[in-house]
């Protein structure tokens, strides 16, 4: 009977997390149906890559960007739901954030007991309205649930199960979670490096040397399991070299500013990145600082628990911030994991102040519903782009240009000289060339191919942003439209050219 009740309660918890994720994301992510378009360049690159993959193009060889193939597969699957809108991406975001919130709830339960339910909408609202959430649909956002489940497992093991060895099944599953991150954006693997390192050291503390080695191998086995489909995919298509070049070599040696710098400059840059991240994300950063300090100085936590959390935070920070010169706001989203400690600490404090958080039954349901309603209002008032909710899509430059492009049957298009601005999405076009957009990669072949396309008139339409075609570039093209449009606070002039 208790098991049945437990299962009944569990689905209700998942339902509450789904309701929270669905309501708040509908307001906060530009992938939502309330917005005319998610015009974020990164999201559109992922979406275009995913659609090309679904149409048989081989990643990195036939269509190029430098994130992980799993990220493109996810967006490819989203395109099967909706090809010309981000509705499929929006649904995937809800699923991912639901899983994140359920893991966060379980983690907070370890720290503050049954009152953790009140922390779910608080944690969600703090994260989704933060500077680091940006437009919605970042690689970091999709990795949050993978990391939060592993964080929960790690804290639970150190708190409740050690010195018993961690089960091989648990190690393998968390290796799979780490492997998924590897194939989305491997700079976030610092988290799982520390995760496994602490399991290794926990075995050594028990003088179980054999278990320490076997545990690492099982964990790596889980990671390798995620590699098998990609090795087959790229191997069958004769593109293993393209995988290495596009996802590994280019990111290490060609991304951003690849010029060598001193160790002092690297450390200075990392410190600046961390400070920028915490100052910009003032909604949840106090919860990180306060919660982690509370955890580390509390007498309720064992020394190994404290070292475990400290190691995970340090290596997560190193992975995200080390050597990053061109800091982007969404990089900091990974730090929001640790805000759960602060939310749990706040709930403990409220209980001590005799705030009635342990209500049950109807009163509890009404209070939680009211809290969700307050959260929706909070998200609307403080979200990053909520001023765009309900905007007519025909006022967007992407759809204005699309109305012209659709006049040409089976039109082809080039997003020339800037990151994918959503014109492929609005036009419903899958680009036919490898380098369909620019990238944060110093890759001569990219610029040469785009220039060659324009100089030889190889597509029906060309879109530029912030500059115009000139000289010999106009031999094959004539301007048919131009439009000013705001993107991330900057007013750009977009130009559409049609082949003569």
Tell me the per-residue pLDDT of 291-314, one tens digit each, with 9 for 90 and over.
999 999 999 999 999 999 999 999
- d(C-alpha 297, C-alpha 2), whole Å: 36
Task: Give the Cα separation of 308 and 239 in Å (integer).
Answer: 40
CA distance 122 to 130: 12
From the CA atom positions of the chain, what is the Rg in Å? Answer: 24
Assess whether pLDDT exceeds 50 at residue 5. no
Q: pLDDT tens for residues 36-86?
A: 999 999 999 999 999 999 999 999 999 999 999 999 999 999 999 999 999
Q: Which of 70, 73, 222, 225 is nearest to 153 (CA)?
A: 222
Distance CA(22)–CA(32), nearest Å, equals: 10
Task: Give the model's pLDDT for residue 150.
Answer: 98
Burial of 147 (0-12, 13-18, 19+ CB in 10 A): buried
| Section 165-185 average pLDDT | 98
In angstroms, the CA 321 to CA 335 distance is 11
List, as own/partner pairs, every contact residues 209-214 make where C-beta atoms lie below 8 angstroms and the sequence separation is at least 24, other chains included.
211/165, 214/168
pLDDT in tens, 404-436: 999 999 999 999 999 999 999 999 999 999 999
What SS3 state is found at 468? coil
pLDDT given at position 326: 80
For residue 236, count CB atoms less than 10 angstroms from its CB and return exposed for 0-12, middle for 13-18, buried for 19 or more. exposed
Query: Under the phi-then-psi rule, with left for phi > 0, alpha for psi from -120 to 50, and beta for the rest, what region is 77?
Result: alpha
- Residue 496 predicted with pLDDT over 70: yes
Cα–Cα distance measured from residue 411 to residue 407, given in angstroms and rounded to the nearest whole number: 8
Average pLDDT over residues 457-466: 98
Q: Can you give the residue ranges of every domain in the chain?
A: 17-38+86-387, 393-499
- Distance, in Å, from the CA atom of 425 to the CA atom of 436, rounded to the nearest integer, reads 13
């Amino acid at each position: 009977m208790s098991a049945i009740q437990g299962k009944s309660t569990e689905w209700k918890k998942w339902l509450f997390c789904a309701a929270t994720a669905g309501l708040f994301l509908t307001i906060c992510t530009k992938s939502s149906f309330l917005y005319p378009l998610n015009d974020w360049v990164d999201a559109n690159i992922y979406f275009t890559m995913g659609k090309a993959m679904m149409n048989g193009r081989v990643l990195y060889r036939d269509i190029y960007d430098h994130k992980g193939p799993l990220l493109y597969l996810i967006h490819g699957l989203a395109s099967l739901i909706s090809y010309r809108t981000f509705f499929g991406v929006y649904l995937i975001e809800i699923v991912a954030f639901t899983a994140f919130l359920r893991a966060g709830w379980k983690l907070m339960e370890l720290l503050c007991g049954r009152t953790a339910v009140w922390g779910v909408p608080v944690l969600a609202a703090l994260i989704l309205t933060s500077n680091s959430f940006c437009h919605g649909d970042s690689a970091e956002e999709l990795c949050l649930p993978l990391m939060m489940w592993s964080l929960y497992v790690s804290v639970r093991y150190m708190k409740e199960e050690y010195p018993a060895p961690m089960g091989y099944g648990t190690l393998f599953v968390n290796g799979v979670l780490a492997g998924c991150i590897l194939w989305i954006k491997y700079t976030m693997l610092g988290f799982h490096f520390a995760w496994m390192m602490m399991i290794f050291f926990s075995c050594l503390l028990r003088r179980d040397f054999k278990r320490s080695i076997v545990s690492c191998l099982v964990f790596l086995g889980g990671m390798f399991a995620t590699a098998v489909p990609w090795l087959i995919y790229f191997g069958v298509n004769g593109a293993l070299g393209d995988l290495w070049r596009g996802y590994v070599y280019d990111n290490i040696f060609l991304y951003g500013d690849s010029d060598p710098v001193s160790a002092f400059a690297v450390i200075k840059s990392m410190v600046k990145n961390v400070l920028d991240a915490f100052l910009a994300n003032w909604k949840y950063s106090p919860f990180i600082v306060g919660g982690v300090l509370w955890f580390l100085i509390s007498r309720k936590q064992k020394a190994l628990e404290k070292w475990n959390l400290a190691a995970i935070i340090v290596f997560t920070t190193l992975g995200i911030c080390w050597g990053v010169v061109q800091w982007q706001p969404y990089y900091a989203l990974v730090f929001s994991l640790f805000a759960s400690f602060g939310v749990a600490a706040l709930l403990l404090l409220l209980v001590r102040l005799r705030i009635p958080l342990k209500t049950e039954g109807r009163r509890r349901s009404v209070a939680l519903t009211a809290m969700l309603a307050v959260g929706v209002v909070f998200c609307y008032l403080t979200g990053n782009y909520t001023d765009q909710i309900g905007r007519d899509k025909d006022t967007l430059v992407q759809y204005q240009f699309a109305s012209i492009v659709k006049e040409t049957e089976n039109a082809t298009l080039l997003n020339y000289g800037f990151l994918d601005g959503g014109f492929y999405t609005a036009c419903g076009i899958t680009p036919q060339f490898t380098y369909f957009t620019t990238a944060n990669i110093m890759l001569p072949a990219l610029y040469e191919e785009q220039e060659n396309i324009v100089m030889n008139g190889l597509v029906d339409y060309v879109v530029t942003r912030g500059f115009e075609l000139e000289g010999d570039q106009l031999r094959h093209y004539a301007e048919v439209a131009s439009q000013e449009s705001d993107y991330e606070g900057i007013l750009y002039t977009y130009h559409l050219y049609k082949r003569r």
